[in-house]
Amino acid sequence: MAGPTIRRVQLGIELRRLREAAGMSRPEAAAAVKTSKSRLAAIELGRNVVSFSELVVLLRDHYHGTEEQLATLEEIREEASQRGWWSTYGLPESISGYVGLETDASEVRTVELETVPGLLQTEEYARALYLAADRLSPKEVARRVAARMQRQARLSGDNLLTLTAYISQAALERCANQPSVAAGQLARLVDRAQWSNVTIRVVPFSAGVHAGHSGPFSVLSFAELLPDIAYYEYAVGGHLVDDESVVGQLDRLLGKLGDIALGRDESLEMITELAQRM
């Protein structure tokens, strides 16, 4: 069964489709259920969950929905209202939304050139990054690190996530210059790079200026559940993007990085050489 974040997005997409098919504007639909335009927008974007009474009014009175559609959407709504495992870690919404989608994704392609991607970090490396940012309390750092480690469960077990991670040579060299975390982190990368569902591609110094310098992002795929969704990450959070044109642009950017990055075997060789220095 898909998790609550996926269900919220699916529900929002279907409600938006039904509204548009009925010829209603978002302000008109919001007024029909006595809610704000911003809340209805959040519902249609999968960031909030419609109430049962709102769902009934919209489908029966305005969207020309059938009783079968209502029953199906109510089932999805109930699943969307559940709490995911990540809710116990108190993550901000800008992060929890991504984690919820990642939990159900079939594939993640990520570009994090300045640091090792979260799905490949050791506990010590992750903690060092949070402490270096000097923004969070010790308790919050502990929660964030624990959540990041829990996310990595998707890389093993029955429901394997396929991961392609682009890392810069600079991030690896920077890691190697931090003795307290380097040995463990580089050893982790050497190990994970040999997993069948993990591909690590190093962008070498020789690549020069390239498209990856625009900042960290990920593109998540969901098999048949949803269209691809992108996530932009920044210092204090991030935001999800489902606009097809934007996701398409990032897809092409990933293709360009694939053209300049070292291959899987060459990347493993570089990481292994750095690890052997420790």
pLDDT class of 273 with cuts at 50, 70, 90: very high
pTM across the whole model? 0.89
Name the maximum alpha-carbon separation found in the chain.
69
DSSP code of residue 208: -
User: Which 3 state secondary structure label does DSSP give 241?
Assistant: strand
| pLDDT value of residue 93 | 86
With a pLDDT cut of 90, the percent of the chain lying above it is 78
Show the tokens assigned to 276. 């052997």
Task: Could you please state the CATH topology (level 3) that the domain comprising 89-277 is classified under.
Answer: Endonuclease; Chain A (3.30.870)
Helices (H), 59-106: 67-80, 93-104
The CATH H-level (homologous superfamily) assignment of domain 4-80 is lambda repressor-like DNA-binding domains (1.10.260.40)
Model pLDDT for residues 57-96, shown as the tens digit of each residue: 999 999 999 999 999 999 999 999 999 999 999 999 889 9
From residue 45, alpha-carbon distances to 55, 220, 231 in Å are: 15, 16, 14
pLDDT at 140: 94
* pLDDT at site 233: 86
Mean pLDDT of the chain: 92
Quick one: the chain helix, strand, coil %, rounded to 5? Answer: 60, 10, 30
Compute the distance between CA of residue 232 and CA of residue 239 in angstroms, rounded to an integer.
5
Confidence of residue 1 (pLDDT cuts 50, 70, 90): low
Q: Which amino acid is at 90?
A: G
What single-letter amino acid sits at 168? S
Residues constituting the chain: 278
According to CATH, where is 3.30.870 located in the chain?
89-277
Q: Is the pLDDT of residue 222 over 90?
A: yes
Name the token pair of 142: 């502990």
**167-217 per-position pLDDT tens digit:** 999 999 888 777 878 899 999 999 999 999 999 999 998 877 766 677 899
pLDDT of residue 212: 67
Comparing 113-117, 172-176, 202-206, 229-233, the range with the smallest average pLDDT is 172-176
Q: How far is residue 174 CA from its own chain's centroid?
A: 25
Give ranges for CATH 1.10.260.40 in the chain: 4-80
User: Can you tell me the mean pLDDT for 123-146?
Assistant: 92
Residue 109: strand pairing partners: 164, 219
pLDDT for the residue 214 = 76
Average pLDDT over residues 148-172: 94
- Determine the pLDDT at residue 135: 87
